[in-house]
Structure 1
Amino acid sequence: MTGVSPEWPAFAREIDATLAVQSQYVLYGNLRDHFLVRPGGGSPALRSLRDLLWQVLEPSGYQTLLCYDPVDGLMVHPQEPDALDAATRLLGGKPGNQPPSLARLRADLTAFGRPQEAGETPVRGAFVIDYASRLVVSPEQLDPAERDFFLFCLKSSRTALPLFQPGTVRPGPLYNPVVWLVDGERDLPSWLTAGNELIRAISVPSPDFGDRQATARLLAGSFPGGRPDPEVCDAFAEQAEGLALRQMVDVTRLARDRGLGFTQLPDAVRTYKLGVLDNPWRRGFLRERIREGETSVPGRIVGQDAAVTKTLDILKRAALGLSGAQAAQSSSRPRGVLFFAGPTGVGKTELAKTVAALVFGDESAYLRFDMSEFSAEHAGDRLIGAPPGYVGHEAGGELTNAVRQQPFRVVLFDEIEKAHPRILDKFLQVLEDGRLTDGRGTTTHFSECVLIFTSNLGMVGSEVRPGMPYELIERTIKAAIGDHFTRVLGRPELLNRLGDNIVVFDFVGAEAAGRIFELQLANILRAVSDQHGLEVLVKEPARSTLREWCTADLEKGGRGIGAALESLLVNPLARALFERPPGRHGPVTVTGMRRDGPTVTLELA
């Protein structure tokens, strides 16, 4: 029979159920959190791990909990006369106050595990070793004293005997267990736990949505009114995805400190996660700016009306907080996700910059990673930082550092198909959970970012050609992307996370090419005017000739037009300006152009 309610956390129920067969436990994971309990099926409450362990053990006749850590040494829990008396009888004397050390810990464990003498009143207790991950520098490279200590613990786990205690709810036999609290399962020597059926490793998980939901309703009582709408509590629980219950308590404290009500907890969660108060997504003028973008963006991204329209639709969805609204819990995912695919040089990167300027009012909010630089598996360390013990570990990752510094930004991953498949797994975590943990153990949240991936998939070895109907181009490229992620990479789940956010760009047509030519020509002439105070005019028929030359081959899109302008106009213009006498003023007029092989000569007036 057990005294533990089925409403206790699962790991606590596992400890209670196995006290008759385990002499030691290794608890790892979410140890520093609060834990939600409903004693006797009553009102829920939050308890620390130490309090929870005691409330698990006490109903089974345990009388004291001895707690050791490398800072404070040995303490008794709870600090009550009965527990202190039980600890004295269990140890064969009062707990000492010597400085903590492995030698002192071994002495305490020796006293704790001593056989009880005939006629001695049996005492049930447990011995908790906190911060056990910090007892040694390396669990696999022990010095002689450390090795001897853990060898003693190994032998103790096998020689310990369960204890009978008549007159209790569970008269026995139950062990007086040693409980190790560690950060990770491998923080103790492997030979201590491997193959040792008397030591049980138990993971303490992070809270699930149900835990966060119950905690939100519990914390509602600390705000005026006391019983907010359950929908508000559920929204708080969704916003708190990735947070511990202890952090939810901190969020409510922050909210009260900022004078926020319970309904404003999403703002408090964002402030807690990101460390910023201002939220660009909630600025009143954002809707108007996106609406104006329906007119201004097509003038900047020429000939891509379908791609621009779909991109703006996704931005509208992001601005309203409706990205992933079809999912039960989606609040921590990125604000927007876009996958730009299609021919090279058609405006994919330019549209990413435009999105940054449109939403955040600043192109510097745009961060680009060339994924061709991440073709090796170890290159992923650049994104999130090297693991502990490796060179550069302290520096963190380029991606995680940048997003923590500025959580509201557009992140562009250019030519994503060139990244190593293992690196793509990191994107899967970002798309699903909206967060990444770097090599230093620091969590970075992407919930306010727009993530943009670009790709040329479907352009090589396919039937896609200029002049094809856009619908056919879109269908063919999407099929190629699906085949790449599913069959080539074996990552269909990543494709599923992208959903219908794949935006396919069209080839640059003749009409769009003419407009791109005029825009880029105007940029060149403006640059000459700004830097040299010189007006350059390109008159007919030179203008028509230049346009014809620059738009003859549209395979490389707008980038190809720009390269042609540089070769056919900028180079000969620079040569002509070098030959121009210093101090000569007045406009320079290009009236004609001559082409002699690769060399172009301008006729100037």
Structure 2
Amino acid sequence: MNVPDIRWLQDLQRLLPIRSQYVVSGSIRDSFLLPLDAASGSATLVPFNRALWEFLKNQDYSLLLAYDPVDGLRVYPDEAAQRDLAARLFDVKLADGCQQMSLESLSKLMKKISAEREVRCALMLDFASRISRKPEQLSEAEHRFFVAAEKISLNASAIVPRQNGGPPLYNPILWLVNRAQDLPSWFTLDSERIATLHIGKPDFEMRQAAAQQLAPLFAGFADAQADVRTQFVKAFTEGTDGMSLSALADITELADRQKLAISDIDDAVRCYKVGVLDNPWRKEYLRDKIRDAENFIEDRVKGQRPAVIKTLDILKRSVMSLTGAQTRSVGSRPRGVLFFAGPTGVGKTELAKTLTKLVFGDEAAYSRFDMSEFAEEHTSARLLGAQLGFIDSEAGGELTNAVRQKPFSVVLFDEIEKAHPRILDKFLQILEDGRLTDGRGDTAYFSETILIFTSNLGIYVEDNHGQRHENVKPGDSYETVEFKVRAAIGNYFKFNLSRPELLNRIGDNIVVFDFISAEVAAKIFDGMLRNVARRLQEELKLQLAMPATVRDDLLARCIRDLSNGGRGIGNQLESNFINPLSRALFEQELTGKQRLTVTAITEADKVISLNLQLA
């Protein structure tokens, strides 16, 4: 098995002749793939301590001491030969495998190790981020400790040990920290002998090697054909992009406990990411629901058949797992991405809710973010989570929290053009990688979500003088509306924002909604009126009746201005009917009444009233 080289160990080997101390950050809690059995060529996933010790042994180091603020000092590995050597060279006295030490005693030990000439040895300071509570506000003892450590780094020299000889190398001191800034800034800046090593997430080659190592633990792998094995390793590697090798090991254990075979690798990875084994996207009933969905959607979203058909096409593509099939690697991109554009009040938000009900069976699986609330750059902290150290950093971000809580959901970003451009940059990562890490360092995975952006771009445009005027208007053909709106959206992302890459990620998923016609407006009106009648029956036990002439009068009042779409019809119905109806009923004795008939609508001094008959 060909095991890729580990970058941070390569850097350590290169720097040992010239650097005495190392601040190591990043994925220090990950596992690392080492070829421990040279004869068989097999590799093993080991923690940082083991990886470091195996490397040091190969460089003729005889001793590794490890310290952390909780357990104190210990010998790694905990073997008799190493314990005896530590006791003889440094008077280490272990009780139950460890020895408590003050910072003053620890600095003296660091000085001894740096100057030791009999054998090569090293000291690892684990959980070094916790040595001081506030790195820029040190106590007197902490300040003295770090000054001593800085002085030791400058006074140390590369050593040729008397016992084994070899090239001159430092006896290194390694500080394991969560972030480099967890230590005083001056400590690393003012010493040329202190190197900074950052351990990144494993790349494709390393994950592939780990997947090959873990593959035999999946049920059915040993008996599978060679091409099936190859495909499994490829799917495992690509599906874990951005994850640690420890995560790959955890996925393997999860698959073993859930009795998942190699054909279920996608489910195993998804279960690890989102914490849910059941996958609604793979339910057979979902295909049946989508197959018959056109009437279901058009019952709630009227007059938008081209938009509905295109939306269903994109949804069917998501169900068949063909989203991004033209690319080499789909990765963990969202299941579906839709960009709803068009006039206000024509059903964009309603279609998003309808899709939620259709796919997930519950509108509660719907999260809406009004992007006008994120027009300032600083509001990104609210959406994505404040960075550690800032106020409310422990709360996480509203978006990342919502997706972690509801991994199978529709996420709606309303009026996306109103968000600050810097916030829009975050959507690039979501659309490309399907994940987002908040200020706490927690990752939310969007691989099982449908993302919907809504926008009114293209309805109005600005001329050369900055004046807004209509770009499209009621009465224009749908082809004209679609062409002009799409062009305006393209111009906005390319020229106004200078972010054509965001538009490229959205691709051809732009769904343009048409204006509400008078015929469609009448259907919307009738639906709203039925809702009013149902509410009267449920709340007041009254059956609503209305002669055709009164209904036509009310319809004319509600649809005379369609510039605000269905939302405008609802507002007019409230003003012309619901408000005067409520006023009239408030003054009536309704006990025993079963039927309410509206006989006329009148208006005097701009006050609308209803003539009612109760029986």
Normalising by structure 1, we get a TM-score of 0.92
Q: Which residue of 2 aligns with 1:320?
A: 320
Q: Deviations over 1:377-414 (max 9, x none)?
A: 23223223333344433333333333222221112121
d(CA) in 2 for partners of 1:67 and 1:550?
77
Equivalence map 1:252-271=2 (5 Å): 252-271=252-271
Query: Which of 5, 8, 19 is the aligned partner of 1:8?
Result: 5
Q: Which residue of 1 aligns with 2:585?
A: 577
Amino acid in the other structure paired with 2:307: A
Q: Which residue of 2 aligns with 1:302?
A: 302
Equivalence map 1:68-107=2 (5 Å): 68-88=67-87, 91-94=89-92, 97-107=98-108
d(CA) in 2 for partners of 1:572 and 1:466?
30
Q: Which residue of 2 aligns with 1:501?
A: 509
- Contact kept, 8 Å, 2:21 with 2:195, in 1: the verdict is yes
Give the secondary-structure state (helix, strand or coil) at the position aligned to 2:338. strand
Change (3 A) 1:133 1:326: farther
Query: Which of 539, 548, 555 is the aligned partner of 2:563?
Result: 555
Give the superposition deviation at 1:161.
0.8
Q: Deviations over 1:512-537 (max 9, x none)?
A: 11211221122122222221111222
- Contact kept, 8 Å, 2:344 with 2:565, in 1: the verdict is yes
Give the superposition deviation at 1:297.
0.7
- Contact kept, 8 Å, 2:23 with 2:194, in 1: the verdict is yes
Q: Deviations over 1:548-588 (max 9, x none)?
A: 22211111011111111111122232233334443363533
Bigger shift: residues 271-280 or 592-601: 592-601
Q: Which residue of 2 aligns with 1:219?
A: 214
> Which runs of 5 or more residues in structure 2 are unaligned?
462-469
Q: Which residue of 1 aligns with 2:109?
A: 108
Give the superposition deviation at 1:326.
3.0
Equivalence map 1:174-213=2 (5 Å): 174-213=169-208
Q: Which residue of 2 aligns with 1:599?
A: 607
Over the aligned positions, Cα root-mean-square deviation in angstroms equals 2.4
- Contact kept, 8 Å, 2:93 with 2:99, in 1: the verdict is no
d(CA) in 2 for partners of 1:115 and 1:9?
28
Q: Which residue of 1 aligns with 2:546?
A: 538
Give the superposition deviation at 1:225.
4.6
d(CA) in 2 for partners of 1:242 and 1:290?
33
The number of residue pairs the alignment matches comes to 594
Give the secondary-structure state (helix, strand or coil) at the position aligned to 2:364. helix
- Contact kept, 8 Å, 2:434 with 2:445, in 1: the verdict is yes
- Contact kept, 8 Å, 1:413 with 1:452, in 2: the verdict is yes
d(CA) in 1 for partners of 2:4 and 2:390?
43
Equivalence map 1:166-565=2 (5 Å): 171-227=166-222, 228=224, 229-461=229-461, 462-565=470-573
Give the superposition deviation at 1:345.
0.4
- Contact kept, 8 Å, 2:3 with 2:34, in 1: the verdict is no
Q: Which residue of 1 aligns with 2:156?
A: 160
Give the superposition deviation at 1:471.
2.5
Give the superposition deviation at 1:10.
1.4
Question: What is the percent sequence identity of the aligned residues?
Answer: 49
- Contact kept, 8 Å, 1:410 with 1:449, in 2: the verdict is yes
Bigger shift: residues 411-420 or 283-292: 411-420
Give the superposition deviation at 1:330.
2.6
Equivalence map 1:130-145=2 (5 Å): 130-145=126-141
Q: Which residue of 2 aligns with 1:65?
A: 64
d(CA) in 1 for partners of 2:65 and 2:246?
24
Change (3 A) 1:459 1:195: farther
d(CA) in 1 for partners of 2:507 and 2:74?
55
d(CA) in 1 for partners of 2:449 and 2:189?
43
Give the secondary-structure state (helix, strand or coil) at the position aligned to 2:601. strand
Amino acid in the other structure paired with 1:23: S
Amino acid in the other structure paired with 1:483: N
Give the secondary-structure state (helix, strand or coil) at the position aligned to 1:451. strand
Q: Deviations over 1:272-327 (max 9, x none)?
A: 22222322212221111111112221221111111111111121122222223333
d(CA) in 2 for partners of 1:225 and 1:560?
60
Give the secondary-structure state (helix, strand or coil) at the position aligned to 1:430. helix
- Contact kept, 8 Å, 2:119 with 2:163, in 1: the verdict is no
Give the superposition deviation at 1:495.
2.2
Give the superposition deviation at 1:115.
5.6
Normalising by structure 2, we get a TM-score of 0.91
